[in-house]
Every structure is written in C-alpha cells, then in structure tokens.
Structure 1
Amino acid sequence: MKCVSFDAFRTLHLLGVSYIKPEHMFAERARIEAADWVLFPEYWQINALVFGLKKRIFPSLSSYLIGHDKVQMTRAFQMLFPAHVPWTLIEPNDAQSAERVWHKMHTPFVAKIPKSSMGQGVFLIESRDDWQQYLAKTPVIYAQELLPIDRDLRLIVVGGKLVNGFWRCQGDNGFHNNLSQGGYVDNQTPLPPAAVDLVERVARALDLDHAGFDVAMVEGYPYLIEFNRLFGNRGLPGLSQQVSDAMLQHLKAANDHDGDDDDDPKDPTPPLPIAV
C-alpha cells in the first residue's frame, strides 16, 4: 500500500509514507498518481485530487465537505439525526432575519461564526448589545439554544469506530469547554455509551472517517454539537499514536476490500509499519 501525505505532522507515526508539500502538488503529479492513498490534503486541493486524478483521499470527501463549516454539518445532522441536534436557527445575516431570530431565541443563547474552531467563533448572547456585536462579525446567522451543561465530550472516531475520548470541563470563564479556551480534561469519568453509540452511527451514516466529535449530555441524552475533521491530540497521553494505529487499520482494510474485486486480490505490498 503506497501513501503520500500533505501533512507531515499528522502522519508522523506512519513509516513509509512519502511527504509532499501542498504547494508542490502539480510538480509531483506522478508520485500522487502512483499512490493508493493521498493523506490529509488541504481543502483547496480536493477537486483536483478527487475529481481530476480520481484519487482516494483520507480523510474522506464527506469529512471535508460536511466539516467545512458549521452550517453544512448542522444541516447534515438535522437531516439524519434531528432528535440529537440542539434547537438551531440558521439565517442570512440581514436586518429582517436578525430581528426574527432575536425574537425567537430565549436569552441567553449561543451564536457561532460558521467557519471557526477552538471556540474562537462561539459567543454567549445575553443582551441586544451582545447580539449586535455578533452580527457585525459573522457572514451568516447561526443561533443555538444554550444547553444546561458545564462540560462536554470530545470523542475521537476513525473509520467509524471510537478510538478514545474524554470530558472537557469549563474553564474559569464559565462558558467555553475548549482546551484552547481554558477548559480542562477529565479522563476519569467514564464515557457514556449513548454518546459513543451516537457518534459511531453518525460517522458511519455520513462517511466521516476521521473526526473529533463534540457531544453534550443533558440528563443522560446526547446532543451533537459539531465535529472537527482536524482535531488536536492534547487531551490524552498516547492519543496521537492511537489515532495513527486506527488510521492504518482503516486504510489497510479499505485497500484490501477494494482489492477483492481485482483479478488478483493478493496485495504484494506489506502493510506500513508503525513508528515507535
């Protein structure tokens, strides 16, 4: 199995993977075409790789398209798993829509900028002034009910299966749970089976093969907040290696499955070794 990677950091533990700088994609066409898998391309490369060269990419095309912003992912969640999505209003950012959303939502509520990460585009709306400040920063209105929680779950799923997870507890600001915003890890409290089952079903249904899901638990019931196609590995010791192991198993299994339809299903290429 031959792989090329456009992200050296995320494939660090996979030996035998050839690294290509994203900006060298066109000059390295021959190496890309010879590969069985293209790992972690940047978003701007997707059309050329998938539709131009017909290459298999990891993470999956679904992971890129659905995970591109919160609007796309929420609409996918609402279509297939509506009972597990907090009440959310998505509207164009114009005066009429802003006024309508303001009157429909009960304060306090949460407002988000669609293309943001690490909690930087998430706002607690408690007043008209908060609302106006948010509207000045976002291209689209994304308003969501504030769930009664002081922590949430980060669940890592690769190839449709849970790799690991942990609780993220609120930091001193009392709102954000993100580790980058002052939240902290609780890896002693067990992961709720209902949340694990939900994210595995969502991942398989939407073909999300590399995702860090954020899930809120309200009285034992799981709510999907979002997922990150590219997630950090800070939460648990050894998580990076666990993700690499799961990634390798998933790629190898997918490669073997595709080979079953060939005239000669035997793959003469040995599996990629894992760096220790």
Structure 2
Amino acid sequence: MRLVTFDAFRTLRLPDARYVKPEHFLRERETVEAADWLLFPEYWQLGTLVFGLRKRIFPSLASYLLGHDKIEMTRAFLGVAPQHVPDTRIAANTREEAECLWEALPRPFVAKIPRSSMGQGVFLVSTRQDWEDYLDLTPTLYVQEHLPIDRDLRVVVVAGQVVTAFWRLQSPDGFHNNLACGGSVGSAPVPEAALALALNLSHTLGIDHAGFDIAMVGGHPYVFEFNRLFGHRGLAGQHERLAGIMLDYLLAQSDNHEPHDPIRPTPVWPIAV
C-alpha cells in the first residue's frame, strides 16, 4: 500500500509513508497520483486532490468539510442528533439580528467565532459590553446556551473506534475547559452515553478522525464540536494504538472492491466501544 503524507508529525508511526510538502504536491504529481492514500492534506489542497485527481484522502472529506467551520458542523449535528445539541442561534451580524439575540437569550450565554480552535474565539457573554466586544470580532453571530458544567469530555474517535476519552477540567478562568487554555485532564470514568454519542456522530456523518467535545448534564450528553486535528496531550501513550488503527482502516478500505468515489466514501468500520 503506497502512502503519501502531507503531515509528517501525525503519520510518524505509519510505516513507509512518503512525506511530500503540501506546497510541492503538484511538483511531485507522479508520486501523488501513484499513491493509494493521501494522508492529512491541507484544506486548500482538497479541490485538486479530491475533485481534480479523485484521490483517496484521510481523514475523510466529511471530516474536512464539517470540521472547517463550526456553523456547518452544528447544522450537521442538528440534522442527525438535535436532542444532543445545546440551544444554538446562528444569524448574520447585523444590528437588528444582534438586538434580537440579546433580548432572546438568557445570560450568560456563549458566543463563538465560527472558525476557531483550542478554545480561542469562544466567549462567555454576561454584560452588554461583552456582547459589543464580540460583535466587533465576527461576521456571523453564533451563540449557544451556557450549560451548567465545570468540565467536559474529549472523545477521540478514529475509524469508528474510541482511541481515548477523558474529562477536561475547567481552567482557572472559570470558563474554558480546553487544555490549551489551562484546563487539566481528569481521571473520573467516562460515561458510556458520551462514547455512544461520539461514535454515532462519527458513523452517521462519515467523520473518521476527530476529537469530539461533549458535555454531560444530568446524564444527558451534549456535543459542542469536533476537531479534525485534535491535540495529542491527552492521548496518554495511545500513539502506537492510534497508528495501528489508522493503518488497519486504510488497508481495509483499500481491500474494498467497490468502485471508489472519494466524494461519497462508504465507511467500513464497526461501531463498537
């Protein structure tokens, strides 16, 4: 199986994966076209690789397209699991829409910039000044109810398997749980309901490489988002297992004799925790 990777760090443990710099992928077109799989391309490469050269990519196209924007992601979640999404409002950033949301939502509420990660671009809005500050930062309004939690879960799902799952405890700022924002890893058992939700979303939406952020409220799981390129701080020695899962998945997909369509892939993974 011929593998070309555009991210040497994330494929370090995959045997014989040839690294090509993303900016050189057309210079090395023969290598790219000869590959069975193209691993971790940059988002800007997708048009050429998937629609032009019609190559297999990993993570899946769905992982890229839905993971690129919180708005698209949330709408997909609402389409397949609305009962597991916090009350969310999305609107154009106009004065009229801003006033409607300010009047409609109980405070505090959470406001997000649609394309952000690692806890950046996520704000707790308690005052009018908080709201005005947020309005200056984003072209689109994306707000959610503030759930009564002091921690959430990161569930890493790759190829239909939970690689790891752990609690993220709230940072000293009293709001963010992200490890990049000062949150810490907790050791309490992870609820099965959270694992089941992450697996169901990954299977239903065709997301094959993601870290899902899930909150528990009264035993009920709510999904915030997923990160296609999740951090490795919480993997706790699971790197070899992660590489094995990825390799087994790529081999299984390669052995599938159905005609390949990179735009509408058919998942082959089992749904099991």
What does the per-residue CA deviation read over 1:43-97, in whole Å, with 9 as the maximum and x for residues that have no partner? Answer: 0000100010010000000000011110000000001110000000000011111
What does the per-residue CA deviation read over 1:225-273, in whole Å, with 9 as the maximum and x for residues that have no partner? Answer: 0000000110132133232121111111111123x779xxxxxxxxxxx
Q: What's the secondary structure of 2:119's corresponding residue?
A: coil
Give the AA of the match of 1:21.
K
Say yes or no: does 1:77 pair with 2:60.
no
Give the AA of the match of 2:139.
P
Mapped to 2, the partners of 1:102 and 1:244 lie a distance apart of: 46
Q: What's the secondary structure of 1:99's corresponding residue?
A: helix
Mapped to 2, the partners of 1:75 and 1:261 lie a distance apart of: 30
Mapped to 2, the partners of 1:31 and 1:157 lie a distance apart of: 30
Name the residue aligned to 2:44: 44
Q: What's the secondary structure of 2:123's corresponding residue?
A: strand
Give the AA of the match of 1:113.
I
Name the residue aligned to 1:235: 234
Give the AA of the match of 1:34.
A
Q: What's the secondary structure of 1:205's corresponding residue?
A: helix
Mapped to 2, the partners of 1:174 and 1:19 lie a distance apart of: 42
Name the residue aligned to 2:28: 28
Give the AA of the match of 2:32.
I
Name the residue aligned to 2:268: none
Say yes or no: does 1:191 pair with 2:204.
no
Give the AA of the match of 2:112.
K
Name the residue aligned to 2:248: 249
Name the residue aligned to 2:173: 173
What does the per-residue CA deviation read over 1:157-186, in whole Å, with 9 as the maximum and x for residues that have no partner? Answer: 011221111100001111000001010001
Mapped to 2, the partners of 1:90 and 1:157 lie a distance apart of: 27
What does the per-residue CA deviation read over 1:188-219, in whole Å, with 9 as the maximum and x for residues that have no partner? Answer: 21111111011101000000000000000001
Give the AA of the match of 1:28.
E
Mapped to 1, the partners of 2:102 and 2:160 lie a distance apart of: 38
Q: Tell me if structure 2 keeps the 8 A contact 1:109–1:146.
A: yes
What does the per-residue CA deviation read over 1:98-120, in whole Å, with 9 as the maximum and x for residues that have no partner? Answer: 11111111000000000000001
Mapped to 2, the partners of 1:248 and 1:212 lie a distance apart of: 18
Mapped to 2, the partners of 1:4 and 1:261 lie a distance apart of: 21
Q: Tell me if structure 2 keeps the 8 A contact 1:233–1:239.
A: no
User: What stretches of structure 2 of length at least 5 have no aligned partner?
Assistant: 261-273
Name the residue aligned to 2:263: none
Mapped to 1, the partners of 2:173 and 2:2 lie a distance apart of: 47
Matches within 5 A, 1:77-226: 77-186=77-186, 188-226=187-225
Mapped to 2, the partners of 1:128 and 1:241 lie a distance apart of: 49
Name the residue aligned to 1:269: none
C-alpha displacement of 1:15: 1.6
What does the per-residue CA deviation read over 1:138-160, in whole Å, with 9 as the maximum and x for residues that have no partner? Answer: 11100000000000000000112
Q: Tell me if structure 2 keeps the 8 A contact 1:109–1:124.
A: yes
Distance 1:237 1:119, change over 3 A: same
User: What stretches of structure 1 of length at least 5 have no aligned partner?
Assistant: 263-276
Q: Give the TM-score taking structure 1 as reference length.
A: 0.92
Mapped to 2, the partners of 1:261 and 1:3 lie a distance apart of: 19
Mapped to 1, the partners of 2:32 and 2:165 lie a distance apart of: 33
Say which is worse superposed, 196-205 or 241-250, in terms of deviation: 241-250
Q: How many residue pairs end up in the alignment?
A: 260
State the Cα RMSD in Å: 1.2
Distance 1:107 1:261, change over 3 A: closer
Q: What's the secondary structure of 1:257's corresponding residue?
A: coil
Mapped to 2, the partners of 1:121 and 1:180 lie a distance apart of: 13
Name the residue aligned to 2:266: none
Percent identity over the alignment is 57
Mapped to 2, the partners of 1:141 and 1:124 lie a distance apart of: 14
Q: What's the secondary structure of 2:133's corresponding residue?
A: helix
